[in-house]
Amino acid sequence: MITLYDLVFEGDRRPSPFCWRTKFALAHKGLTWTDVPTGFTEKEKIAFADSKALPVIKDGETAVKDSWAIALHLDKAYPERPLMDGEAGRAFARFINGWADIAINGAIFPMVIGDLYDRVRPEDKDYIAETRGSRLGTKDFTAFQRAAREKGMATLRMALEPARRALRDQKFLSGAVPAYPDYILAGTFMWPRSMSPLELLAEDDPIYAWRERMLDLFDGLGRKAKTA
């Protein structure tokens, strides 16, 4: 029995890119789970795992925090249908994990922070204003987002170029079938999809078609999730 502590926004939106990595990973393994919607100010729910961030899973008696550690745990505990095949598979996924965290999440965040703030649960708004406000140097997230969008889209699309080149030649980042590197980037795209109306990709971008394929996986796990 696996329990997933999943970040929740207003209206039961589930935007966390890191929680999405875990959801795709669980589905890839054919595992079922129960989720516990967890707001930014409900850290007591994940204190048992000594975590202040989501995702956290409880797998039987084992608590695991951090999406990367969870992916490694799942491959060890459930070796069938590997998320990362062998040392080379793990090394490739580790690279994609860092690239998505820094270059892609980092490029998206300034362009959606206003939309994100509008959709967090009312009881979490002060927390987001304080934590993200001190990171950005302003609490006027609407103005910050507007300014960020002027140049941000070109920056994001350039940062995505390595994935675009791969997806011109192959169906998935991992080749003919999806694996953890695909779930990492798909998780990143689930984040804006769940809380911002901004479209980040042109329709003729090979990444757009790949994202459609990712949304359809596992009986439409991603597509069925609530959008902005």
> Given candidates 18, 20, 99, 117, which one binds ligand GSH under the rule CB under 6 A?
18
In angstroms, the CA 141 to CA 91 distance is 37
Q: Select 42 or 156, whichever has its Cβ closest to ligand GSH.
A: 42
Q: Using the rule CB under 6 A, which residue among 7, 100, 148, 173 binds ligand GSH? A: 7
Q: What DSSP assignment string belongs to 30-43?
A: T--EEEEEE-TT-G
What letter does residue 38 receive in the DSSP assignment? E
Of the residues 31, 36, 53, 136, which one makes contact with ligand GSH according to CB under 6 A: 53
Q: What is the Cα–Cα distance from 96 to 182, expressed in whole angstroms?
A: 9
Tokens in use for 191?
């984040």
Distance in Å, CB of 109 to ligand GSH, minimum: 10
Closest CB to ligand GSH among residues 53, 159: 53
Residues 95-114 that bind ligand GSH (CB under 6 A): none
Amino acid identity of 58? K
Total of chain residues touching ligand GSH, rule CB under 6 A: 11
Rounded Cα distance, 80 and 76, in Å: 9
Count the neighbouring beta carbons within 10 Å of the beta carbon of residue 161: 10
Residue 31, interface with ligand GSH (CB under 6 A)? no
The amino acid that residue 14 corresponds to is: R
What does the per-residue mask of binding to ligand GSH show for 68-97, with x meaning CB under 6 A?
x-----------------------------
With CA atoms as reference, report the closest residue to 186 among 214, 163, 226: 214
Shortest distance, CB of residue 106 to ligand GSH, whole angstroms? Answer: 12
Distance from chain centroid for Cα 70? 14
Least Å distance, CB 150 to ligand GSH, is: 25
Which CB atom, from 5 or from 172, has the smaller least distance to ligand GSH? 5
- Site residues, ligand GSH (CB under 6 A): 7, 16, 18, 40, 53-55, 66-68, 131
